[in-house]
A and B are shown apart, each in its own frame.
Chain A
Amino acid sequence: SQQGEEDPQALSIQEGENATMNCSYKTSINNLQWYRQNSGRGLVHLILIRSNEREKHSGRLRVTLDTSKKSSSLLITASRAADTASYFCATDQDWNNAGNMLTFGGGTRLMVKP
């Protein structure tokens, strides 16, 4: 089963605009990660934020984490057509005794129009 929800499920914007995607999860976590996927194949890691962090930046990406609300957001600034992809949040759940397998949300499909 999936850990949580991503919102919106689909997002269409013009090049140059900012894109914001939200993720909610259900259980306590060690960290939360965002991945990008093109054409339904391999996932590319974008950014990891630890449970004791509130905000993180990487280039045009900004991620926030609110553990009290069990939610995260991914902001892509100054979007480009090449940013068109599906974006997934994934959590490493705190109860896991064996390892850090990831639990993914359903994803947001982003389309950036040139």
Chain B
Amino acid sequence: GAGVSQTPSNKVTEKGKYVELRCDPISGHTALYWYRQSLGQGPEFLIYFQGTGAADDSGLPNDRFFAVRPEGSVSTLKIQRTERGDSAVYLCASSPKGGRASTDTQYFGPGTRLTVL
């Protein structure tokens, strides 16, 4: 079956612009995660959805970052007033159930490489 897909694969924008990054999780997966990976580092957690609700958004760096998952499937990560420091690969992952102490495997998408000029 289809895996996690993310669009666009690459996004180049100018400082101060608004961007939206999309994630299509594996069909039927309840849990959805966004991570950000800077060059040469491991991914860092941003936000976790259980169904339609953001169960944990403690990883969002500031209020310029926002994410939604209105129907419990596709999610959009939104970044306002982009800054050069936002440049990174944004990774999305989904898992069947999620939840505390779950041992679900998280399936990652290919990521969106965001470059802010």
Contacts and interface: CB of A to CB of B under 8 A. Distances in A.
Main secondary structure of the interface of B (DSSP, over half): loop
A2 B59 CA distance: 12
Given A98-B56, A99-B56, A2 B101 contact: no
B65 interface: no
Size bracket, chain B contacts:
35 or more
Contacts, number: 88
B42 A88 contact: yes
Interface in B81-117: 89, 91, 93, 95, 98-111
Interface of A: 1-2, 30-31, 33, 35, 40-45, 48, 50, 88, 90, 92, 94, 96-107
Interface of B: 4, 31, 33, 35, 37, 39-45, 48, 50, 55-56, 59, 89, 91, 93, 95, 98-111
